[in-house]
Structure 1
């Protein structure tokens, strides 16, 4: 049956890999450039019980074989004693079938090492087949193991080879660590490259070691888990050494930190080890400055793309990595309807609005993840062509915009092939955000009816525009969002309260025309610059518009304001437009003319080649350039810390009193429900002031329900109130019925001190003299945020600003306009008078340059 192997190796030092049973082990040699050889050694002359064996599923009639008594204990005795240790063995017999029998010792030499067979027999866990193995009598005497009373039936395990309800089994453990024994590493019939090395890497560290496992999930009856070992996480080690890659579908359930696995994989990619030896990063060809940069958001193209302005002034379109915006599955069946994706695709408008309010005009951090190559598209068929796309992770204030969009259910995550590396660097966070959105039923994942936006586009619709014109004219200033900029002075606006789109032309100016508006297609000089100026200032911003009229094509004409800036005036001030003769009948005529005069004197852009008129012609029009003193009665209601003030026109004061009286009577009979109003920035509302009365207001900022910043639109004062002191403004008392009555002004011809004490003295003086009093006001020239005016006391007709100069509370701002020189001279004389008397800021005599800096004036 067997024969002695002549010349068999003796004292061979190998490492123990696995204990098959109480009398059989597998040893492994030293690795030499790959997985080392393995050999099964059966212990000579001893026999331990056979372990249980599961019947082959291909033989349904054959039953499972249970453990023999003490078989498992014998295997465990050897495993705990030998796993991970070096052993020395001597092969004594090799059968015809190739099975090897021998003696195995712990340690490097058999003369001093522990004889494993004798230790096993001494514990009563194996029986001797022939004499020469010591320990039998010792075990019998001590009644150990197989020699104990009872026969060992209690040592037979009750094994189960399947779980009836795996999902319930996993859920019952609540992802808590469970003690386990690593028994086996499955392999593939057709192994991929590095599969054998990966198996060796894992087995040499875990095989038959005591470990803990965390059961993470159970999709499709397959249990997913994590193996925990005191010396490290084998999952991370496999990834770090290039033996494995991350799998997207199971990363979402990994509770030990998916970012650690991505970082381990990234380390292997960067070092190009093993399966990543030919790896090329998606951004390998980009310079560092092109991979990560800060830019200003100028436009939200749609729910996954924005246009940013780089520090170089260049514009660049950035697509958010790995997200898919809302879309309609299948074709649009309503062929007669003009398809508008922003309004017709469910949640597209909400997604765009989220990005617009969060990003427009703000600086963001852009980290390029990959460049998606351009596709040519199919000559026949539905495959479209796409240009090259820069896909990046965009963050603002530490918030990943794509993740925020997905968490609100306003976009979904793109699924990739496993070997596709062109994806977001925060892909796992995006998947987790989507899982939360699905669980909470947000946006696209909601079971509620999708929001419908019925937006009427009356651009170019003359008849509809005619019907709408009186309504907009009566409304005064209306809120709008600039949807598109056609040119410097032609825009498309979305009116949120009226839910309509209109084409809007800036009044009072003549802007250079682009090529599309001129026969022959040759653009006028600076038309492109004017369009870019308007885009940067107002595109996709919230603005206020005053509609005055409309043209024959159904386009509305009027004035557009953004944060106190009149866009028509701004274009003229920046030498990108001229004043049109129609401005003469508007309230902004003087402001526009003054701005144009200043721009002409600079002689840049459209005025670069301007030649002043001969003296004879100037004399002819000099009368028109004289300062016009057209004082009107106003009531000063508020003085700001910056020495600006708010005033009401006395002429319309009675209208305000009537409105307030009627409104308060209606509120008294139908009181608002406390706490029912939800404040949002820009909303008009009513606010209860300290006197217990309700006033019209506008919400400027919402910090929390307890801290809402409001501006009282008829009086000019501001306050921080709780939302319980706010209520909805009844429509019959809105700004359409009566426009805001408080207008902001600043004093002409003076410089406001930047020094706090000096400025406070000037403000106190003005508050004492004119607040809550009636004065006379004349607009002198435009300012950056409001008109610059002179103010007179209604009784004495003394100039308030000139009085501040004479008191030495402010300095004079000189102006170069010829028609203002008489006023400037009077103010400068007043300043000399204050200097001579050494009043206030002149108390140390002549005001030197260093004094000016101390008080915050310019040199």
Structure 2
């Protein structure tokens, strides 16, 4: 009587393991009756010659197939079943012998089946095939000495392997194309395991560990699979110097990580990797420590979430966690006011609100701040030594400061946490990006911060995977916290009183400027600075100026504006000091502060948020300060907007009245203002430069169809080549992207090539002159007006520093949808226009938005001379960009206040 089973594993050239078709955990081992085959080696032994090839013959034929079998006899001592196996109508015992991969055992009682096996063996022996071959080119299992070298050769590549053994649902032994057998863990997933009980020491299976292993055996054991190797174990280095420990540690790091690819469609909703299959069933969970190694990590989390939502297996009692975020917790941009530690910042948002935030999912060592204002003591003020911060805390804070200082940061809010015991604080934890890069990742990569271990459902940073990879890299390279070296010491002395005078004398006696870091801002003109080269912390005041007083109603707003300007412009910055010979009455060092070479005192003066003091006449830069103040007077900025600016400075006598603004230069005669200001609907088609573009009006649809039809009626191949390609020549050109012919105009010639403008669309390209065709004389194509018109954005000027960013922004903004175009004026034959999105008000035009964003300058001279009625609204947008230090104005009004200086 024959029975059926599914071949679950092929253990050798004559041995298989089968399972019940419905109950995969019910297994039986079968050996081919009367057939012996070369044996595969055990863990420490070598394979017999041709053992691998014999196993492969049987594996490729049977694995995963349903077979019939007849147990011919069972050995009582071992319980081994010897059987005749059939795959459909094929007798596998006979096939193995016939192919030369098995030898027939010697027995006394010979049946007809046995005699047939003998005959088949004789034929194979005569043909010298299989084990009967005289060749010695049989496969030999190679030993793996260096998993790191293996990873280097295979990482990032898909490799076809054979799954030799299933250790658990996610741990395998695989045979590489090099015939090396290695351990491999599935990247990004954790499988419940079998552990020993504390009391009985018996193996106890965690929930679904057996099911996961059985599933993997049925799906993968002895199968050919495709693996993408992605990494290797990188546990923390054992600091023990014991050689034995080091050897054991080397064993621990020998496991490769990889993903098994089971689909050809990476964009499918169905599992693309085997990990996703296990996750969707609910047998495994995402392993946050290894998931970042795989580019499929987002798919893993999606698959896990699906199993959670359906309450499958591991997740039968799953309850979604409560989210800590509020509706208001959206992303925003900000500037850093103070770096409080390696993972905590004090920021100011664009709306002026200040907030303390921490970096998500990382922890740095405790940093002891020096930014507290030195206390006055009754006794003589002497240097005050502060306690030291913890190891690597200074480096963490310094790296963070260097990344965020003077830059606009993008903040993504990840979660909220309540901190403190006595004084409760609900703080937001965020991912902070500078130039689209996470500053937390940089801290972790340098070994200055550790990544917190999270539970499966804990809220996390959007850059969490990158944090894990960075930490693995830091551990591998023994950087910072993960190394054996101690951090350098950074003792700082808070200097005040008599000590401040002595330090000032020492510093002014040195050649060159004094390097400093802005630690805290006390007022618009007073700071706490650290001096890295002198291991000191001092207070410092800007010399020669007075700031509006906050005690008077008219001065209060200006004083706050000055403070905000100072906060945004100088917080956390590296600066240079030009010191005066004496300290002030409060024992503060005084002088000028240079940021990127520009005197910050001038910035305050140019903004009208400070005035020059009479005593400044003794300063070397008195004329420079007066010139900066003069700019603010001329532009009526800050205090100079007031009828009597001295009300903001009650301790000062009235100064001379501001000078009259210089008259604007006359505009060129080719200039003309559009009085009709008609509006039309258009679509932008291409750009000539960041603010010059081509567009099609909504009325060109029929015209384009006519042009297309006329070109189609021509036999272009038979047309004459363009006789002479000169600038302005009208012709037909073949566009390289679609090989279609369009009307074109030659705009430049370069030897055998010409740059042509496709006049109905506004785009251009360089083509060979020999490919251009002449439009026949009298053809209507010569009289139909061009469908694409050229225009420039009105009232704005671009700058080379931002031309790439500006054009990218405009292409992304304007090339989609329809816009309302209004011609404001013309110059040199080109219309200058404003653009408004459909449905928006004219006051909200794109031109103003660009000025407000600091992407362009307002054309101040033109506005004040020809468009006084709207000049104020455009210049207010520029003032906003300046006050927020946006893009072109990041470093303040470094371009001056005249258009000629832009």
Quick one: distance in 1 between partners of 2:486 and 2:25? 65
**CA-to-aligned-CA distance 1:602-649 (integer Å, 9 cap, x gap):** 569999xx7999xxxxxxx99x747999xxxxxxxxxxxxxxxxxxxx
Instruction: Rate the CA distance shift 1:450–1:140 in 2: closer, same or farther, 3 A.
Output: same
CA distance in 2, matches of 1:307, 1:80: 65
Q: 2:113 matched to which residue of 1? A: 134
Task: Report if aligned partners of 2:259, 2:275 keep a CA contact under 8 Å in 1.
Answer: no
Q: Does 2:411 correspond to 1:366?
A: yes
Q: Aligned partners of 1:472 and 1:533: how far apart in 2?
A: 28
**Residues 783-831 of structure 1: CA distance to partner in whole angstroms, max 9, x if unpaired?**
xxxxxxxxxxxxxxxxxxxxxxxxxxxxxxxxxxxxxxxxxxxxxxxxx
C-alpha spacing 1:88/1:433, structure 2 compared with 1 (3 Å): same
1: CA distance between counterparts of 2:490 and 2:648? 53
CA distance in 1, matches of 2:283, 2:506: 73
Aligned counterpart in structure 1 of residue 356 of structure 2, from 311, 317, 331: 317
Matches within 5 A, 1:394-405: 394-405=432-443
Distance 2:31 2:657 in 1: 119
Q: Partner of 1:482: helix, strand, or coil? A: strand
Alignment match, 2:608: 573
Is the partner of 2:217 in helix, strand or coil?
helix
Task: Confirm whether residue 87 of structure 1 aligns to residue 67 of structure 2.
Answer: yes
TM, length-normalised to structure 1: 0.52
> What is the match of residue 284 of structure 2?
244
Q: Alpha carbons of 1:90 and 1:337: their partners in 2 closer, same or farther (altered >3 Å)? A: farther
Secondary structure of 2:301's partner?
A: helix
Within 5 Å, give how 1:257-656 maps onto structure 2.
258-273=293-308, 274=312, 275=314, 284-286=323-325, 290=329, 292-325=331-364, 340=386, 348-374=393-419, 376=421, 387-409=425-447, 411-414=448-451, 416=453, 421=458, 424-427=461-464, 429-434=466-471, 451-453=488-490, 455-459=492-496, 461-462=497-498, 464-465=500-501, 468=504, 472=508, 480-496=516-532, 499-505=535-541, 508-509=545-546, 531-543=563-575, 544=577, 547=580, 549-556=582-589, 563-566=598-601, 569=604, 573-574=608-609, 587=622, 625=656
Q: Label 1:454 to 1:100 Cα distance change in 2 as closer, same or farther (>3 A).
A: closer
Compute the displacement of 1:551 (Å): 4.6
2:256 to 222, 225, 233: 225
Query: Is the 1:93–1:102 Cα contact (8 Å) retained in structure 2?
Result: yes
**What does residue 216 of structure 2 align with?**
202
Distance 2:607 2:429 in 1: 39
Counterpart contact for 1:118–1:133, Cα < 8 Å: no
Specify whether residues 172 and 119 from structure 1 end up closer, same or farther in structure 2 by C-alpha distance, changes over 3 A only. closer
Corresponding residue number in structure 1 for 2:86: 105
Query: Is 2:7 the counterpart of 1:16?
Result: yes
| C-alpha distance 355-394 of structure 1, shift in aligned 2 (>3 A) | same
C-alpha RMSD of the superposition: 6.2
| 1:40 maps to 2:28 | yes
1:358-389 CA-to-partner distances (Å, cap 9, x unmatched) read: 32232233344444453538xxxxxxx98555
Among candidates 130, 143, 152, match of residue 122 of structure 2: 143
**2:832 paired residue number:** none
Q: Are the counterparts in 2 of residues 572 and 595 from structure 1 also a CA contact under 8 Å? A: no
In the alignment, the residues of structure 2 paired with residue 452 and residue 499 of structure 1 have an alpha-carbon distance, to the nearest angstrom, of 11
The offset of 1:83, in angstroms, is: 0.7
Match of 2:164 in 1: 182
Distance in 2, Cα, partners of 1:568 & 1:22 = 85
Gaps of 5+ in 1: 1-7, 58-63, 108-112, 252-256, 330-335, 378-384, 515-522, 614-620, 630-752, 757-840
Deviations 1:249-308 (CA, angstroms, capped at 9, x unpaired): 767xxxxx8132533432223324444666788894536873544433333222222233
How far off its partner does 1:207 sit?
1.0
- Note if contact 2:17-2:28 (Cα within 8 Å) is conserved in structure 1: yes
- Determine if contact 2:34/2:114 at 8 Å carries over to the other structure: no
Cα distance, 1:247–1:118 mapped onto 2, change above 3 Å = same
How far is 1:552 from its partner?
A: 4.4
* CA gap 1:242/1:88 in 2 versus in 1, 3 angstroms: same
SS in 1 for 2:204: coil
- Displacement after TM superposition at 1:221 (Å): 1.9
- SS of equivalent residue, structure 2 residue 527: strand
**Aligned equivalent of 1:719:** none
Return the alpha-carbon distance in structure 2 between the equivalents of residues 183 and 346 of structure 1.
46
* Contact 2:260–2:275 (CA under 8 A) maintained in structure 1: no
- Do 2:342 and 2:396's aligned partners in 1 also have CA atoms closer than 8 Å? yes
How far did residue 440 of structure 1 move? 6.1
Residues 68-87 of structure 1 mapped to structure 2, 5 A cutoff: 76-87=56-67
Give, in whole Å, the separation in 2 of the partners of 1:181 and 1:347.
Answer: 45
Deviation of the 1:81 alpha carbon: 1.6
**Distance apart, 1:40 and its partner CA:** 1.9
1:540: how far off?
2.1
Equivalent pair of 1:283/1:368 in contact (CA under 8 Å): no
SS at match of 1:193: coil
How far the C-alpha of 1:206 sits from its partner, in A, is: 1.8
Q: Give SS of 1:134's match.
A: helix
Structure 2 vs 1, CA of residues 139 and 67 (structure 1 numbering), >3 Å: closer, same or farther? farther
CA distance in 1, matches of 2:17, 2:54: 15
Q: Deviation of residue 585 (structure 1)?
A: 8.4
Provide closer, same or farther for how the CA distance between residues 373 and 18 of structure 1 changes in structure 2, counting only shifts above 3 A: farther
Where do 5+ consecutive residues of structure 2 fail to align?
169-192, 195-202, 234-247, 264-272, 369-381, 661-794, 799-860, 872-897
SS of residue in 2 equivalent to 1:183? strand
Q: Secondary structure at the match of 2:205?
A: coil
Q: 1:291 to 1:471 in 2, by over 3 A?
A: closer
* TM-score, length-scaled by structure 2: 0.49
- Residues 190 and 497 of structure 1: CA distance in aligned 2, closer, same or farther (over 3 Å): closer
Q: 1:195 to 1:551 in 2, by over 3 A?
A: same
Question: What is the CA–CA distance in structure 2 between the aligned matches of 1:49 and 1:424, rounded to whole Å?
Answer: 59
**Higher Rg:** 1
- Give the structure 1 partner of residue 187 of structure 2: none
Answer whether contact 1:121 1:136 (CA < 8 A) is retained.
no
Q: Say which SS state the counterpart of residue 190 (structure 1) adopts.
A: strand
Corresponding residue SS for 2:294: helix
Matched residue count: 579
* Contact kept in structure 2, 1:509 and 1:583, CA below 8 Å: no
TM superposition shift of 1:139: 3.3
